[in-house]
Structure 1
Amino acid sequence: MNQAEHAPRVVFAHGKESGPWGSKIRHLAAIAEAAGCAVDSPDYSAMMDPLERLRHLETLAPAGTPLLLVGSSMGGYVSAMACAALRPAALLLMAPALYLDGYPGEPRDCPADTVVVHGWHDDIVPLSASLNFARARSAALHIVDDGHRLADSLDLIGALFQRQLERALGHR
């Protein structure tokens, strides 16, 4: 294992119509960097197929001790589906595009420290997707008074992520 694989790392996966450094990722990346984590946010903008994005992340094979995956919408699908290959210590999903047409498969080997945030007013991904995912794993599910972008919930998401980082870094 090289030195970079020993460093704590957070890998973000953005949504279909956003970019690698959108507002949620910038907000969470600042928290991760302040905690001493390396931060990666691959650009998936040219890839509209969620399976292509998943293969790309698996090919990148990010490593860290611990490794945390964070995904929003299509990026939530990618992060959840990558757990089997990447074995992260923690997973944060925001309005994950799970169980939708064109998004095949069932996430496997998601870590015990999995947190899901979904908006009551999400008009893109049904709340039932997050409910089903969280129920099957006894994952922490936070339903907020917000829409798909979760723009009004950044402070809460940041606090949840900060707690995940503290737990993960405490187990190094």
Structure 2
Amino acid sequence: MKGHVVLSHGSDSGPEGTKVQALAAVAQACGWRASRADYRDLDARGMLACINPRIARLRHKVRPNERTILAGSSMGAFVSGLASLQADVAGLFLIATPLEIPGYESAFDAAHVPMALVHGWNDELCPASEAISFARQRRATLLMVPDSHRLADHVDLIAEHFRLFLGAIEAQPDLGALADIPE
């Protein structure tokens, strides 16, 4: 296995959601282990009450010394970014990312690792201008598509973009694996 991809669904979805399923299939086809976090029980608590428990659940899926990519859509992207500040990850693939959730204690942030964002020009929940600004600030790859927050018309394109992202991560040395090499 090349590593582990942990996929996080949005708050109105589940681990069988269209985008999460598509990304899991790509990861597996590329030789990565893919797991889909299930947050539906936490989401039942409400928007603000589920965030910290989601982050905690996601953090526990990251294993030491295993190359890990966090990928998520909407609320899944938000918690993936925040979890990356607390866990060692090799990259982030974030879809329709909210940069703030009204009432939550902090704005979106993420570790300084390779990052790709996908966002809809017509996103009715998360303004495109904010995604562009964040990507510019972080020098992250950004794919903008003519779609709404759900990005339902571009699932195949997102999956292909994810395949390319995984290839770029694979091309980088796995520094965690180097720790296992005897001197």
Give the TM bin, normalised by the shorter chain: 0.7 to 0.9
8 Å contact from structure 2 (residues 78, 108) kept in 1: no
Q: Choose the corresponding residue for 1:41, options 21, 36, 40.
A: 36
Gaps of 5+ in 1: 1-5
- The alpha carbon displacement at 1:102 in A equals 3.2
Residues 9, 121 of structure 1: alpha-carbon distance in 2 compared, 3 angstrom cutoff: same
Aligned length: 166
Residues 44, 166 of structure 1: alpha-carbon distance in 2 compared, 3 angstrom cutoff: same
1:119-141: CA deviation from partner (whole Å, max 9, x where unpaired) = 11111222233123212201111
Where do 4+ consecutive residues of structure 1 move more than 3 Å?
59-65
Residues 64, 36 of structure 1: alpha-carbon distance in 2 compared, 3 angstrom cutoff: farther
Counterparts of residues 44-55 of structure 1 (less than 5 Å): 44-48=39-43, 49-55=50-56
User: Is residue 2:144 matched to residue 1:134?
Assistant: no
Gaps of 5+ in 2: 44-49, 175-183
TM-score (norm 1): 0.87
Tell me, in whole angstroms, the C-alpha distance in 1 between the residues paired with 2:31 and 2:120: 30
8 Å contact from structure 1 (residues 12, 69) kept in 2: yes
Task: Tell me which residue corresponds to 1:102.
Answer: 103
8 Å contact from structure 2 (residues 28, 34) kept in 1: yes
Tell me, in whole angstroms, the C-alpha distance in 2 between the residues paired with 1:144 and 1:87: 30
- The alpha carbon displacement at 1:63 in A equals 5.0
- Report the 3-state secondary structure (helix = DSSP H, G, I; strand = E; otherwise coil) of the residue aligned with 1:10: strand
Tell me, in whole angstroms, the C-alpha distance in 2 between the residues paired with 1:96 and 1:64: 27
Task: Tell me which residue corresponds to 1:157.
Answer: 158
TM-score (norm 2): 0.83
Larger Rg: 2
Tell me, in whole angstroms, the C-alpha distance in 2 between the residues paired with 1:21 and 1:102: 28
8 Å contact from structure 1 (residues 66, 169) kept in 2: no
8 Å contact from structure 2 (residues 101, 107) kept in 1: no
Task: Tell me which residue corresponds to 1:3.
Answer: none
- The alpha carbon displacement at 1:88 in A equals 1.6
- Report the 3-state secondary structure (helix = DSSP H, G, I; strand = E; otherwise coil) of the residue aligned with 2:166: helix
Percent identity over the alignment is 36
- The alpha carbon displacement at 1:163 in A equals 1.0
- Report the 3-state secondary structure (helix = DSSP H, G, I; strand = E; otherwise coil) of the residue aligned with 1:167: helix
Task: Tell me which residue corresponds to 2:14.
Answer: 19
